[in-house]
Structure 1
Amino acid sequence: MQLIFQNLAFALPLASSVVTAQNPGLGLSSASGVYNSSETPSTLPWNTYNFCNAPHINALHYAPPPLAVSAAGQLVHVSVVMRHHKRTPDNLAPSERALNPPMGWDCSKAVQLTYDLGGVAIAHDATTPAQHPFARTIWSGTCDAGQLTSGGLIDAAQHGKDLWELYHDHLGFLSVVSPEEIWVRTSTEDRTMQVAGAMLAAMDPLRAARGQPWAVHTQPSSIDSLVPAYPCPAANSIRDAFQAVPAWTDHLSSNVSLKARLDDAFGTADIGSWASWYDHFFDALTARTCNGHPLPCNDFAGTKCVSEADAAAVFAIGDFEYDYIWHAAENASTYNSLTFGAFFAELADALAVPEFSHRLALYVGHDGSLVRLLAGLGVVPLRWPSSALKSSLKYVWEVVGTRFVRVFHEGTVIKGMEWIPLEEFVGTLRLLVPDQLFERCMGD
């Protein structure tokens, strides 16, 4: 197969290749993808890859099943598996504050709430005191590392409105926003719970105003299947092996000059976690461009800056790395099944029930969740899962007593998954679950 980064063409402006604080670099979008805005330009198709805010199903672009099916059958269940919306960087450079605008990052509207039954509602307010001796290691403002930004919260609310408009207003499938109709599963990260909360509140603002608690289902953080977070030394060994061969190492050695320029800008030379792959650079750059921040400069003169061309190269390399690790590498399918087998089993069990207890099941996870799900379902080659990417949106239709599944990805029906017997689809998921998963992972 062709490496995906060889097929990407970024439309970059020729006027300025160096981006400074005065030039936030708004050219990072093309027919290959959008990396600088939650809004996809109207000149591009609605379902264009948008890393900042993935295209998702909505009433305007919903593709109904054939008329004969609609007349004879009924929609009985919908499962949504998605990534959270845009956030701050999760990987910080040694002198992070020097890489950010003076105003820092704003999460003031993305309030994180927690309270016990009968207790006082507590709002998490992250601030970094200017006099803190380690303040230089993180930006100023009101955000923690990896926190959902105010823009991410706004996107999540719009996502919820779009879901309600489709399933309530257009299809008449959901009747009320309640735990009786909607089941929610997230990871233990605050940002996934915030996204779920924003989506539910946008579906029914009156309920949100009443402040009624909603049960969000999670698993213990050390074994969470959705992240995934459970230990699997055997899978780690497989990944170490396929990242030690030329198919992987060549892309690192061939981009030495790019890596040197990035290290100059980020101050990350000789830090192993920033050298083994481009994950950290991809995260640090996309978090900035998606939230309207300039590409980083590590000096006031503006000579050690990340150019738009280098940012585009990082985005393309990130796509290559994700496709290689979870799809193209030797034994990638085994690695994927070991690390995500627990969730494949969880999803199969949820879809194989005689009667569905909820009309909508909403799973909010991470990029690591979605890339594994896509790889398992054969939606390849892979790209880095976008913020709010909604993949494997499964519609279960019942036609004269027989159930069928339609699977959507980024708002569009996946080719070959337009109309699958539910039993067959559940069987596909179960084939992705290794026998004796615990023993296989632990090497027993």
Structure 2
Amino acid sequence: MSTLAQYSPLASAYGVYNSSQTPSTLPWDTYNFCNAPHVNAVHYDLPPNVTSAGGSMLVHVSVIMRHHKRTPDNTAPSERDINPPRGWICSDAAVQLTYDLCGAAIAHDASTPHGHPFASTIWPGSCDVGQLTPGGLVDASQHGKDLWELYHDHLGLVRVVDPNEIWVRTSTEDRTMQVAGAMLAAMDPLVAGLPWPVYTQPASIDSLVPAYACPAANAVREAFQAVPAWTDHLEANASLKAHLDAVFGTAGLDTWASWYDHFFDALTARTCHGHPLPCNNNTCVSENDATSVFAIGDFEYNYIWNAAQNASTYNSLTFGVFFSELADALAASIFTHSLALYVGHDGTLVRLLAGLGATQLRWPSFGSEVVLEVWEEALGGTRFVRVFHEGTVLRGMEWVRLDKFIQRLRALVPVQLFERCMGT
């Protein structure tokens, strides 16, 4: 299991938490929570056998990713008191964040009327909770450009930016659809404003989040968060928690006490956008405090989805539906689309990585991706999968027979999943 001492400050060789741009003094694929590294033509190497006799041909790519950076998804009781006077501004990106509804271009611009009695619970400005920010839009656009340069210009897989070539699945959250739209428009500006099918599932049963109810999985998680392997870290950081509560005004709130998810989210959103760390009545979160929270967040994610006893059971119950859907999509004898783009959340990526056998998990960054390349041998037609995580081939997934990979995904799907979840 990870120890908190392994993790380092806001911008170091072990990670970047204060900018979408990784410093040039660090390797290009350094963990960057604000904007994860991703596959790109500059740092891409073909599989060794592609240039050998017979060779192989790339026939399909699936990209499963987290949306890009956003405002905090959790607000403190007096959120307005701990933000800069200008607050969070999203209106300068509103023109680009549009939906075509009955022919009208709709832009999302949040505003709080003067004198609203609940204004203290939300920051000033034009951003809603969990909204994609202008910086997130820029990062998503670059992500789209890099995918196009690699899989169109360099490898020639995707021929045109068209729904017949690129299939898009997102969650029901606006930010995931906006990221998909920004990426597509970056691939070809002519598609901006044109109708494009984006596939979702009903919010209450969405497998990509995942959002479906599973009481059995909740019981598994409650059990492994009731043992010293988990409770010790909460006790060891009680003084930090008390200090954070003093700043955020969250003492006594269960949702801010069971783990560091809310603090991690509130602080990373700020540091990634260049906002100052919050203060309240001359009590401030220091950079060392933030670094500790980021380290604890990594510890908790690795514990819940990897290191805890029965973590694999928890993953299979909560993500089994998506594992099954992905296996079905990859099992098609003829791929109907060259590129499948899934835009989800941090919970999407951490479960997928755990299922693929990643041995040390960290909190999935904004824009974090897993790329599945499907290659077909010229002689014999055998298909293989090559898996990338944030631009680097995942260890053990350098060249796996597609049928074996599909078997692995199906093995992660519990028999009678609905009944298992409901305890029936």
Q: What TM-score range do you get, normalising by the shorter chain? A: over 0.9
Q: CA deviation at 1:207?
A: 2.4
Counterpart AA for 1:397:
W
Distance 1:397 1:79 in 2: 12
Which of the numbers 110, 114, 134 marks the counterpart of 1:130? Answer: 114
Cα offsets for 1:297-331 (capped at 9, x unmatched)? 012xxx30000001000000000000111111111
Q: Give 1:69 deviation, angstroms.
A: 5.0
Q: Secondary structure at the match of 1:363?
A: strand
Structure 2: which 5+ runs fail to align? none
Aligned to 1:88: 71
- Map of 1:175 onto structure 2: 159
Q: Which residue of 2 aligns with 1:8?
A: 7
Q: Distance in 2 between matches of 1:166 and 1:187?
A: 25
Looking at structure 2, the residues matched to 49 and 163 of structure 1 have their Cα atoms a distance apart, in angstroms, of 19
Secondary structure of 1:333's aligned partner: helix
Alignment match, 1:362 = 341
- Corresponding residue of 1:224: 206
Paired amino acid for 2:46? P
Query: 1:63–1:412: 8 Å Cα contact kept in structure 2?
Result: no
Q: Could you tell me whether the CA contact under 8 Å between 2:8 and 2:15 is conserved in 1? A: no
CA RMSD of aligned residues (A): 1.1
Aligned to 2:217: 235
Letter in 2 for 1:331: N
* 1:77 counterpart residue number: 60
1:252-401 correspondence runs (5 A): 252-299=234-281, 303-391=282-370, 393-399=371-377, 400=379, 401=381
Residue number in structure 2 paired with 1:142: 126
TM-score between both structures, scaled by the size of structure 1: 0.93
For 1:222, what is the secondary structure of its paired residue?
Answer: helix
Q: Which residue of 2 aligns with 1:411?
A: 391
Cα–Cα, structure 1 residues 68 and 351, in superposed 2: closer, same or farther, change >3 Å? closer
Structure 2: distance between partners of 1:324 and 1:88: 26
* CA distance in 1: counterparts of 2:267 and 2:292, whole angstroms: 11
The size of the alignment, in residue pairs, is 419
Task: Give the AA of the match of 2:320.
Answer: G
**Deviation string, structure 1 residues 52-95 (Cα, Å, up to 9, x no partner):** 00000101001211154566211000000000000000110010
Letter in 2 for 1:160: G
Q: 1:167 Cα shift?
A: 1.1
Q: 2:137 aligns with which of 153, 158, 162?
A: 153
1:118-141, CA deviations, whole angstroms, 9 ceiling, x for partnerless residues?
A: 442222221112321111110111
Map of 1:21 onto structure 2: none
Q: Which position in structure 2 is the counterpart of 1:23?
A: none
In structure 2, C-alpha distance between the alignment counterparts of 1:263 and 1:337, rounded to whole Å: 34
1-side partners of 2:234 and 2:8: how far apart?
20
Instruction: Find the aligned partners of 1:193 and 1:129 in 2 and give their Cα distance.
Output: 27
SS at match of 1:40: coil
Counterpart in the other structure of 1:32: 14
- 3-state SS, counterpart of residue 107 of structure 2: strand
Q: CA deviation at 1:109?
A: 3.5
Per the normalisation by structure 2, the TM-score is 0.97
Amino acid of the residue matched to residue 305 of structure 2?
W
SS of residue matched to 2:352: helix
Secondary structure of the residue that 1:345 maps to in structure 2?
A: helix
Q: CA deviation at 1:107?
A: 1.1
Q: How does 1:425-444 map to 2 (within 5 A)?
A: 425-444=405-424
**1:4, 1:319 within 8 Å by CA — same for their partners in 2?**
no
Letter in 1 for 2:63: V
Paired residues of 2:70 and 2:136 also in contact (CA < 8 A): yes
**How far off is 1:380 after superposition?**
1.9
Distance 1:247 1:128 in 2: 44
Q: 1:5 corresponds to which letter in structure 2?
A: L
2:48 is the counterpart of 1:66: yes
Which one of 94, 98, 107 corresponds to residue 113 of structure 1?
98
Letter in 2 for 1:258: L
1:15-26 matches, cutoff 5 A: none
Name the SS for the 1:47 alignment partner. Answer: coil
